[in-house]
Structure 1
């Protein structure tokens, strides 16, 4: 069992070995002694302190260890706001009255201000650097930042600020989130200038026209000071910040709110200088004024400016009528494009509003010009675009064998293993996989693997072969089959990239099971170069019926798992060394290669297969492109932890602690966790994780880590574990119970996509034969004679007997 001293030693080794380099957060975290605490307390400085009460030889909980990591990261951030962050390392030695004597305070961090305790924070509410900074600043600014619950509260604040101060209203989905931190940091800087208001939902959103169930964090600017040209109304005018809430975007937005509503200039637009700091990245919109209608033009410009507030700067141009002004009535300039001014003829202001409805959006006319002749806009993703570009390009096939109905039997009988790709020449995906297939052939040739023949079948030309090589016609292309003489055809169901296919072939070359007769051969088998699952069968006699069960299971696992069969004498020795009783099967998973689990021999190969696959399945699998199909096939609800990239040792430690907590959840939940597949996905390993999370929640991806429940059988709802709560085994179990009872609201819905085959099997030869039959009776007789001379593949296919009603993966033998 881990003890606190062991954890401290590991943390010390981790930091000394490079865990903190450069300007690290550890340098800002102060280690407080009893004397230091009282000295700093009476110095008047604000302090955020955790009193760590260590109990000898009791483990440090993952949640506490994670908090300590985040405490280090928050020290530098809070230093900018005059808050010292530290901890009393060991209350057993550094006795601080009232804080080191109460075990209940071990789950609380404290903020001290003005020489006394100011506020306490439960560790569940300050679980990461964002929540620590936001909660501390929220406590410090609690008299300045107002938290409103109802629209009446907001009306009262608007009345109190009318004519003297503008207001900044922020909606955050939860306290302690990065958006909450951005609001508090901005309030700390601009609090004396604006009245900051915070809401987390409720009736106030109805006034804003928002459905809080589907709205992400946003900010509104309430113009409550008297503005020239703006009629006084019962409510302050609102301006919504279009960008996602962050400290930088809010800073830029507030600067734009200080810009003049309408600027009047007396030069033509090309001569007007571009916006200066801090508006240098803001587009300019020019409206042309006429002497006879100057007053109305000002009103029009003001109305447009209110609609473009925070998006563009509006300028009213008073200059002599140039050629441009005679033909056009408006113009605009985007600083990110160039200093070029583009002129427009507008029939209504709505046209201009549509143009600038999204800041930074490209001009629609330019988009049409750029995309003219391009087909990629209709393609789903980068893969579709790639295969679209590669359509019609048939690669050089000299390194592989063309398989036809005429040579199939010869090819298979003369080679221990034939790997056949069934493809369509006009299908872009088939041709892309064909290139990978040829690449694998080159690699096998370089490795001098001469007992594997790589071949391809063009199903557009040899449709009879593609229709009868297995029990059902091949209708999904491309398709890869492994063919052995007098053995069932084996379909490859893995990824069609060159790496995955090459790995599968190399694992299929060995016998299944491989007979092992010496200790050295067993060691070589277990320590092979391939990172793969391995299974050993230990039997005292190879004539026993249990061996046939193991052999049949090994054949099914071929390509995915390496299997070995020890000779009886060696099995007896090996069993004694590993304290097992034969007959027994030892399973060595790739994710835990140095240890094994033992399985009893089942009565059937199917039962043994199920036991082996269960033993190979990790308790907390990682979701990758390769593993996803297998994980989905289990039919369980996904409880998936999304982890961010390990930017430094601190981030890596945080991810490790979260994974430990998820493992504890699986172990502690036991039967309660049976309906769920607990897993994790890492943004650094699988960059698409962010897009997956956004698709599940139907919104921009939230900050990581994030815990999501999805793919619930017979249900399409997606649930997100509250970001404001720390991911712990007990908290997640409680949350899952609430989901089951219907007490939690879904955060998104899964799309009901169906991906059937593009079409049924099309027998081109049969159609051609039918056309020839209609054309001439004489040709029909000649065709019949020719058909009798042809080799019927089905005559050389033997039906494999099955003992159950389940359709086997491969039905026919050559």
Structure 2
């Protein structure tokens, strides 16, 4: 049970860990999280096709603090869309286009690669919503049409008939929170629907809207319309314009208008229930089928976006329902029984649904649980990938699409990897892209069947498999309990999980000779490149409890590292060779060509998992956005070597020698390449106020006061000098240069 809880928590870490916001790192400082560059450095870092927002200002003049605070707040949401943000410090003698004139210094510039796309006066970017909205609006100019007249709208509507549905929005002004929410929706759905935007009240009045005080969003059903003289049906979104509400509304527009069912209403599930909307069943008899279907279609149009409508065929039901009931109402809340109703008027049915929506909304407002537009599309660093690849045609045929009819038969008859995703969600689409990339790499070589389930279409399958969040990857193998993937969204991490999951964990080793082959990497040489570590548990035949703890840990670590177990009568040969008392772990580090031994007396499964997880980390890693949270969880001060490029081999040799001699056991040694992780410049500026000469060694004590100590810049980084400095630190003879309170590298544990 404890390991199950750990697996659950590791999934939560995956959901949040892929965001650099995790554990309050790097971007918590108000201004220092905004990268500051010289003009030369800025233009040298521009990458072809990548969008960058830059604010140029005089380095020696007082900053516009309010604007910089808002720009800093926009760094994270814009990064979610693959857009970099930078503050460029101009020097007084600079005469370039962006630095030369005072009026140019009151603007913000949007580049794609080195090409200038747009310039914004700073007074139009009045807050974080305005910044995100304006930038996305500029980048999505093909997906979002801005119009001012009814004629413009009619022309677009006629052009879309028979081809594409339209999402039409009115917002009070460009840069409002509602405008940002619409732009975020266009980011996800802009290649599926034609987005149209206006700020003209008269245009809203002309299409019959009575209440024009607030922002509005309509869905125009133009794709089914083949007659150019026929007007597209329009559905008004009645909720407030927030990112979440718009996503949910569009999802209901994608669902079937009317579904026929012949099963127990209590067991029926659709996407509407997942979105918190009720289901309305119109009960039909064979004798009145045609009339009932017309009634159901009329109700479905009236309730579109508010409830799912189904036609229930009474004559085919195996369950009893009251003879006089003609409507069945099913709430979205789990465990609430369905209601059998007698409603002989369409308006009564509509009123029943709308009154329940009003009660639910009132309760939400009282609690204050309002989802605002600042939540963004996702809390992860995924949207850059989605934006870059959203028009790319994925070879979905390399994976098998599973349905309610084929799921169980497939996963029981073959070893399968299953991706559970929702096509409307940005994180899901990012992982789907990585998943397909993995399928391409494994084409014709893997015995594992790669499959996928779109939970938007097959919600019942996902519910049965305890999938309540998206996306999820699970491995089904040989009747064992499915194993969930809890790693990052990238192709390499997912490929590693799939390749290592092919191996039973732990592997049952049958002889001392086989154990030696296992430790050398020969036994699984085809996948050893995916695991930095091979773990072998050694036990005497009578150590039943200790073996059970290790097996439980091995099951949890499946897909992360290779684990094996040996408990033969001659196990003492191995324990003597590696000088360890049973029970024990042997950790084979293949890249370093060495084997460590760790006693396991009275060690529980969760502790074994922690030992192996920590041991699988690199000795002297390069810190990146993705791996920093992992190393922070070690709860040790960081010894960081900041470098403006690749690390000096001599410096690396010094650190590794001190690690080998166990002088750095109380620290986590690591290095940070400012070219690969530019935000490191902001971190150093937060510590030193100006960018110090590089390379530079610092110790950051996150978990005890947040103190920062710098290795003397006038000393060479040698074993002797570094060891002497660390001893002074330990003795309290060195003064810290700063204390981080909620700043870069701060961690709230």
What TM-score comes out, normalization by structure 1 length?
Answer: 0.39
Q: What TM-score results when the alignment is normalised by the length of structure 2? A: 0.42
Q: Which has the larger radius of gyration?
A: 1
